[in-house]
Amino acid sequence: MDLKDFRQHAHQLVDWIADYLEDIEKTRIVTEVKPGEVRAQLPHHPPQQGEPFAAIWQDFQSLIFPGMTHWNHPGWFAYFPANHSPPSLLAEMVTAALGAQCMSWQTSPAATELEQVVMAWLQEMLGLPSNFVGCIQDTASSSTLVALLSAREVATQHQFGRQGSSAPEATKMRVYASKEAHSSIDKAVKLAGFGLDHLRKIPTDKDFAMDVEALKAAIERDLAQGLHPTCVVASLGTTSSSAIDPLEAIGKICKQHGIWLHVDAAYAGAAAILPEHQGMLQGIEDADSFVFNPHKWLLTNFDCSAYYVRDVHALLATFQSSPEYLKTAYDPQVVNFRDWGIPLGRRFRALKLWFVLRSYGVEGLQAILRHHIALAQDFAQRLDAHPTLERMAPAPFGLVCFRHRPEGWGPDAPRLDLHNQTLLQQLNQDGHQYLTHTRLDGRFVIRVSIGQRETQQAHIDHLWQTILDALPNLP
Amino acid sequence: MDLKDFRQHAHQLVDWIADYLEDIEKTRIVTEVKPGEVRAQLPHHPPQQGEPFAAIWQDFQSLIFPGMTHWNHPGWFAYFPANHSPPSLLAEMVTAALGAQCMSWQTSPAATELEQVVMAWLQEMLGLPSNFVGCIQDTASSSTLVALLSAREVATQHQFGRQGSSAPEATKMRVYASKEAHSSIDKAVKLAGFGLDHLRKIPTDKDFAMDVEALKAAIERDLAQGLHPTCVVASLGTTSSSAIDPLEAIGKICKQHGIWLHVDAAYAGAAAILPEHQGMLQGIEDADSFVFNPHKWLLTNFDCSAYYVRDVHALLATFQSSPEYLKTAYDPQVVNFRDWGIPLGRRFRALKLWFVLRSYGVEGLQAILRHHIALAQDFAQRLDAHPTLERMAPAPFGLVCFRHRPEGWGPDAPRLDLHNQTLLQQLNQDGHQYLTHTRLDGRFVIRVSIGQRETQQAHIDHLWQTILDALPNLP
């Protein structure tokens, strides 16, 4: 395929993409393929000779596309949103074409400096302290691991006066997070070598937010035993129910004891661009690190996780590496983002964020988020007004958790979980919407996550109607 | 920007991209911007209102583009190549448009199954053992960290009979790599909590490959002291000089002592698609993990790092996590790639590999790599025939290391490094080519890395001529 062919095929794909997005509601949101079905239709061996693009594209349309789940369908209520947007797609095209490795300033100066600019813009939009500095990571999972590794390194240096935290030093370190914190915290605690059994899962209050008194007690208990409380992870918007840990109170405890405070706002952090939601960040100046994902609710293609730290020296002490073959003449004057995380290679991810922030403007993005939150509030009110549908958690953002509890069934009736699993299956059979579940206090709960860019009132009305239609037929 | 606007702008960008790539040789390969120059031209605050795409695009062209380094310029001799190709760019467009999260089978079945298919194709192309299984990671750095974490976990389970390797168990663990191994090994040893001082840097032979007798001695010394040799990293194609560690001999030692063997073939692994280069993989059946980067020399956009393991259970024991909100009905029957690495979220990266492997076919890719290797051999021969240009290492692939040593200067003449630094600067001033450096045995060496998809004989001839032209004017 030469560039003449590329030009022709790329124009063809642009039309396919625009058609796909225009007609996305005609596509079944979740595929009906069964495990192994796609793979069984593909050759076991790579082709020896090159094939014309027409053949590849034909196979894409007939074999791959029908097996895809459509995350950008406006009936997307599953997990959290993974939005893209037209300007973000344009930027992805340019990023791919430039194909620049943005590991060091020298290897793509404009990419590094644009990343500094858009991270500062986001920082201002969210009202993060001006002494924070940010960079783009791939995911919140990786960012949390980066935070825990930094916390480990700082604690090692403080406690043992040396660098390159070797394993033994971590023996007495302890990490704290609410029992509703994301599974990536458990994973990061394990990977960073703290030992899974050294993660203290702090109980939550009735709204699923961390119980600060319990945190305080756990830390004091550990201190009394000669252990080293090293890191607390506060969640702003948990995955199960978007619960908000009391950041300010947690920050005071961390400050008092010199504990690294990492704030995981992967989903809900985007809502802090709304002045009416910035309250959740009260106390953020005591945090050491903060992460949220523009690739969830801020219309920017995955991957784009915004990671901020208060003390960049802690980050560099953990991740910096400067072998001869990467040294450049400008190193003393510039930021080399390869030293801010795990991977050496980096894509030019700032470009999509720049295209999105400029295309929508702050007010445009605020309007979209407010619209989603209003839809969620409307849905929550319908639940609250219904005699047998139960809202299972506060819904401050776009996520609403509910279940159906028939009249006369107690809150822990044995059949309730199965009853709601069946309800969820029926809602998903529809093909126009997709929802997933969680458990809160051990109870099976249906999550309605409203945040896909194109989701409108009509989609909520449709969801509501399918719920009402399903209820009479449940076991 | 609605979809109608998107369609129009995307068509416009397709033409810009095709023009850019057609005319790339007219573009200066490395920008002349100084640190801070790009940033200084961009607003400090995000726009409140959305802006028309024309304004954004205008700024891209006037402010961002001039500050980029052009990795896909055929005069790219720096670092290693980071190739893309027309079919890869087409796939990136589709991947971005689908915007699917490929963390679990359920969240995009075709993406998971296509990843299984293309990883099996690559496995066959490289002649990797059929009992290996693979997945796509972002970078070799991350893959190496994944390997070291897996090695730590397995060693903990073997030695202490329990899971979730907590820090104390790693105290006595030791890791081994040649002193020429990539800096990502040092970084991964540190991050995985082994402690940087527990990495044994094994001396190399005259060709910069690991000295196996020295490895053996280091392991035996550690065993005699009651320590636990946990992981050896063998490099196939080091970054400084593409040296090839003797895999088979290393594998036998690892097998004998039950040590995890990770093979870092980030750059040179691609060459194993050539039968005449598969010899470097002799003994690979004793490896536990293997990584190479199709995003370097196999025409596939970054990020696309191919990571293979012999025992997937070791990988899963380290990375698997299944919180309620991620559980799906199909979990027992399917592969969930979120459990094969650090990040939870994953892009649909298999698509670009599929487009590339099918567009070029095995033979097409082989022809491109053979062409690059032939160019490198030609360049190496010219060096060898020149009275004062010195080749500094074997050049089995596309990388040739050299320096200039004027007649009468000893091999460690004090001025030699500065002399060659000046030569490198002069070669790079040219604007049509870009080279970087390293040190071998402490000596400053210029690296000529030949592997950009469009690099032809004429570019090598130009490089050669600029070298000859520069020599008379060196200090």
- pLDDT tens across A360-385, in order? 999 999 999 999 999 999 999 999 99
Q: Is B156 left (phi over 0), alpha (psi -120 to 50) or beta?
A: alpha
Low-confidence spans in chain B with pLDDT less than 70: 160-170
A77 and A156 within one domain: no
Residue A168: pLDDT over 70: no
Give dist(CA B31, CA B66) in Å, integer: 6
pLDDT at A163: 59
pLDDT at B72: 96
B372 three-class SS? helix
Inter-chain residue contact B325 with A240, CB threshold 8 Å: yes
Are the C-beta atoms of residues B392 and B377 closer than 8 Å to each other?
Answer: no
pTM confidence score: 0.97
Inter-chain residue contact B38 with A109, CB threshold 8 Å: yes
A258 and A170 within one domain: yes
CA dihedral B324→B330→B331→B333, nearest 10 degrees, is: 170
pLDDT at A419: 97
Q: How many angstroms separate the CA of residue A39 from the nearest CA in chain B?
A: 5
Residue of chain A minimizing CA distance to B146: A191
Q: How many angstroms separate the CA of residue A355 from the nearest CA in chain B?
A: 7
Give dist(CA A193, CA B165) in Å, integer: 6
pLDDT at B259: 97
Please compute the mean of the pLDDT values over residues A68-74 and round it to a whole number: 97
Q: Give me the long-range contacts of B415-419 (CB less than 8 A, separation at least 24).
A: B415/B475, B416/B443, B416/B444, B417/B443, B417/B444, B418/B475, B419/B474, B419/B475
Give dist(CA A72, CA B119) in Å, integer: 27
Span B273-302, pLDDT tens digits? 999 999 999 999 999 999 999 999 999 999
Which residues does chain B have within 8 Å of residue A454's beta carbon, measured at their own beta carbons?
none
The count of CB pairs under 8 A between chains A and B is: 474
Q: For residue A467, what are its two tokens?
A: 């719920």
Are the C-beta atoms of residues B437 and B79 closer than 8 Å to each other?
Answer: no
pLDDT at A475: 81
Residue of chain A minimizing CA distance to B39: A113
End-of-domain residue from the set A320, A347, A374:
A347
- ipTM of this complex prediction, to 2 decimal places: 0.97
Residue of chain A minimizing CA distance to B320: A187
Does A152 fall in a domain?
yes
Inter-chain residue contact B71 with A99, CB threshold 8 Å: yes
Residue A169: pLDDT over 90: no
Give dist(CA A41, CA A146) in Å, integer: 40
Q: How many angstroms separate the CA of residue B360 from the nearest CA in chain A?
A: 4
Span A2-15, pLDDT tens digits? 999 999 999 999 99
Residue B257: Cβ within 10 Å count? 16
Does A92 fall in a domain?
no
pLDDT at B163: 59
Average pLDDT, chain A: 96
Q: How many angstroms separate the CA of residue A103 from the nearest CA in chain B?
A: 11
Which residues does chain B have within 8 Å of residue A171's beta carbon, measured at their own beta carbons?
166-168
Residue A27 pLDDT grade (very low, low, confident, very high; cuts 50, 70, 90): very high
Inter-chain residue contact B321 with A187, CB threshold 8 Å: yes
Which residues does chain B have within 8 Å of residue A101's beta carbon, measured at their own beta carbons?
71, 79, 82, 302
pLDDT at B215: 98
Chain B residues 227-246 within an 8 A CB cutoff of chain A: 239-240
Residue B374 touches partner A, C-beta closer than 8 Å:
no
Does A353 fall in a domain?
no
Does A10 fall in a domain?
yes
Which residues does chain B have within 8 Å of residue A151's beta carbon, measured at their own beta carbons?
none
Residue B143 touches partner A, C-beta closer than 8 Å:
no
Q: What sign does the dihedral A275-A281-A286-A289 (CA atoms) show?
A: negative
* Domain enclosing residue A391, as ranges: 1-30+69-85+361-475
Give dist(CA A296, CA A84) in Å, integer: 8
Does B379 fall in a domain?
no
Q: Which CATH number belongs to the domain containing residue B342 in this structure?
A: 3.40.640.10
A315 and A453 within one domain: no
Residue B316 touches partner A, C-beta closer than 8 Å:
no
Residue of chain B minimizing CA distance to A145: B342
Q: Which of B68, B102, B149 to mutate to test the interface with A (most CBs of A within 10 A)?
A: B68
Span A287-337, pLDDT tens digits? 999 999 999 999 999 999 999 999 999 999 999 998 999 999 899 999 999
Residue A164 pLDDT grade (very low, low, confident, very high; cuts 50, 70, 90): low
Residue A254: pLDDT over 90: yes
Which residues does chain A have within 8 Å of residue B182's beta carbon, measured at their own beta carbons?
323
Instruction: Among B1, B166, B364, select the one facing A50 at the smallest CB separation.
Output: B364
Which residues does chain B have within 8 Å of residue A115's beta carbon, measured at their own beta carbons?
none
pLDDT at A113: 98
Q: How many angstroms separate the CA of residue B201 from the nearest CA in chain A?
A: 14
pLDDT at A162: 58
Q: For residues A78-87, b (16+ Cβ closer than 10 Å) or e, as one string?
A: bbbbbbbbbb
Residue A59: pLDDT over 60: yes
Does B67 fall in a domain?
no
pLDDT at B160: 66
Which residues does chain B have within 8 Å of residue A240's beta carbon, measured at their own beta carbons?
324-325
Q: What sign does the dihedral B415-B416-B419-B425 (CA atoms) show?
A: negative
A391 three-class SS? strand
Phi first, then psi: give them for residue B323, nearest 5 degrees: -70, 160
Inter-chain residue contact A10 with B326, CB threshold 8 Å: no
Does A228 fall in a domain?
yes
A366 and A451 within one domain: yes
A458 and A336 within one domain: no
Does B310 fall in a domain?
yes
Instruction: Among A45, A46, A53, select the one facing B87 at the smallest CB separation.
Output: A53
A231 and A264 within one domain: yes
A262 and A376 within one domain: no
Residue of chain B minimizing CA distance to A106: B69
Residue B158 touches partner A, C-beta closer than 8 Å:
no
* Domains: count for chain A: 2
A445 and A474 within one domain: yes
Which residues does chain B have within 8 Å of residue A106's beta carbon, measured at their own beta carbons?
69
Residue A31 touches partner B, C-beta closer than 8 Å:
yes
**CA B239 to each of CA A416, B179, B421, B433, B438: distance values in angstroms, whole numbers, following the listed order:** 59, 11, 19, 19, 9
Residue A143 touches partner B, C-beta closer than 8 Å:
no
Residue A220: pLDDT over 90: yes
pLDDT at B475: 81
A342 and A375 within one domain: no
Which residues does chain B have within 8 Å of residue A304's beta carbon, measured at their own beta carbons?
none
Please compute the mean of the pLDDT values over residues A216-232 and round it to a whole number: 97
A6 and A133 within one domain: no
Residue A276 touches partner B, C-beta closer than 8 Å:
no
End-of-domain residue from the set A293, A312, A347:
A347
Q: Which CATH number belongs to the domain containing residue A462 in this structure?
A: 3.90.1150.170
